[in-house]
Amino acid sequence: MDDKRDLVILGGGLVGMTLALAAASKGISSHVVDRADPAELTAEGFDGRASAISTASWNLFANIGIADALEPFACPIERIAVSDQLKPGQIDFVPEPHEGSLGRMFENRRLRLALYEAAERQPLIAFHPGAIVTRRERGAHGVAAQLADGRVLEGSLLVGAEGRRSPTREEAGLQLAQWDYRHRAIISGLTHSAPHEGTAWEIFYPAGPFALLPMLDDEAGNHRSALVWTVAEKDAAGTLKLSDRAFLAEANKRMGGLLGTVTAAGPRSSYPLSFQHTARIVADRLALVGDAAHGIHPIAGQGLNLGLRDVGALVEVIADGMRLGLEPGDAQLLARYERWRSLDSMSVALATDGLTWLFGVPGKTASAVRRLGMGGVQRLSPLKHWFMDEARGVSGALPELLKD
């Protein structure tokens, strides 16, 4: 039997590990369990898995002490350009000089390295990688997770952070509302001849959005972007199987020379797009964070940022409660977490959902409406600022840990 800790976090990915570190910054101890082996997750090579880190999320990284180590690997997003099939009338989101950047792009691998490194130095975190959870228990006085090797990890609160297919959520019977887009996101790392100048492109095609996110040049000075290419489910297998040459030709066709010529693409991977939302993100001694609580369509790059807002809110609620002598699994604290988060995640998800729908309608009339709509957004400054604030993650009631 290992030592009893405040939190038993199932899932040590970007959200779960950030939660452990943020909790530790408030003196809250944790067990973190992950099935994967960290050496594999941090192996060399850019596979295109990248994340946009909003200003608010960056504040969180600063507050848990990993921002300095990450800064050299950040590619600042200077501008977000949204275009309908590369026709005229694109929307540009450019912040005023005093507003700072729209966010920073990172390879997920870099984020993981920084998180693991910080966790290793943190005695309040007990990390159990390469471990399978065979049994979860939530009782009157605490929680326990049994691992395949027989170890039992005890705590006050169980946290499900295993992503959109969270077995912890399913076992707790928390219902998911789910819209399946019947689309799949194909992601890859691209090398291209022209610099991206810090621009994140979202190019909408009737078949689905094609997003290019600026990455830092590699050591050899090659310009790079992360590609998130949405295709219909029925076309996904074919696209994944394309030869490298054919894939490059397809990418070049859809980018219209925006970034010069695409010269190389990294390994391709894909995941199905579905919007999920649970009305309930807590149960007795259980809280869900990140995609386990709400899968989200990646076009607006909000998935991880939303998960990190979950982290900030949950840690704040627990720390506030422990300051009053309440334990982390206290039902009143979890109720506050759920109230706080439900509105935020629902509004982001619905806005993102609406955007996808708007751009998913084929035909000339629809395209004209979209361009008109985009021109409208360009002119309508409150809406534009909402979009920009959303991209930077500074709208809504922000947890303290996500503030400057």
Partner 1 sequence: MVDATQPAASKSLPAATIRAEEAAHFGKLAAEWWDPKGSSAMLHRLNPVRLGFIRDAIDRHWRLDGECVRPLTGKTALDVGCGAGLLCEPLARLGAHVTGVDAAPENIAAAQAHAAGSGLTIDYRAGELSTLPAATFDLVTCLEVIEHVADKRAFIGELAARLAPGGLMILSTPNRTPQSRLLLVDAAETVGVIPRGTHHWDDFATPDELRELLAGAGLAMGEPQGIAFSPTRGLHLSPDLSLNYIVTAVRSA
Residue ranges binding partner 1 (CB under 8 A): 4, 27, 140-141, 321-327, 330-333, 336
- Cβ–Cβ < 8 Å for 111, 70: yes
Residue 355 region by backbone torsions, left for phi larger than 0, else alpha for psi between -120 and 50, else beta: alpha
Residue 182 vs 323, nearer CB to partner 1: 323
Residue 99 vs 400, nearer CB to partner 1: 400
Q: Under 8 Å CB-to-CB from 351, ≥6 apart: which residues?
A: 300, 390
Residue 150 vs 325, nearer CB to partner 1: 325
Residue 285 vs 309, nearer CB to partner 1: 285
Least separation in angstroms between CB 338 and partner 1: 13
| Rounded CA separation 378/143 (Å) | 51
Residue 238 vs 325, nearer CB to partner 1: 325
Least separation in angstroms between CB 277 and partner 1: 22
Helix (H) or strand (E) holding 92: strand 91-93
Helix (H) or strand (E) holding 113: helix 108-120
Q: Under 8 Å CB-to-CB from 236, ≥6 apart: which residues?
A: 184, 186, 270
Least separation in angstroms between CB 105 and partner 1: 35
Residue 69 vs 326, nearer CB to partner 1: 326
Closest CA to 42 of 66, 19, 13: 13
Rounded (5°) CA angle 16-79-196: 95
Residue 167 vs 396, nearer CB to partner 1: 396
| Rounded CA separation 63/396 (Å) | 19
Q: Under 8 Å CB-to-CB from 166, ≥6 apart: which residues?
A: 11, 160, 288, 291, 292
Can you tell me whether residue 187 is helix, strand or coil?
strand
Least separation in angstroms between CB 386 and partner 1: 23
Least separation in angstroms between CB 54 and partner 1: 27
Least separation in angstroms between CB 400 and partner 1: 12
Least separation in angstroms between CB 285 and partner 1: 11
Least separation in angstroms between CB 347 and partner 1: 17
Closest CA to 327 of 155, 156, 160: 156
Least separation in angstroms between CB 28 and partner 1: 10
Q: Report in angstroms the alpha-carbon separations of 231 from 211, 221, 238, 240, 268.
A: 12, 31, 10, 10, 13
**Rounded to the nearest 10 degrees, what angle do helices 14-25 and 55-63 cross at?**
50
Residue 140 vs 220, nearer CB to partner 1: 140
Residue 134 vs 347, nearer CB to partner 1: 347
State both tokens at 59.
């504040």
| Rounded CA separation 46/23 (Å) | 30
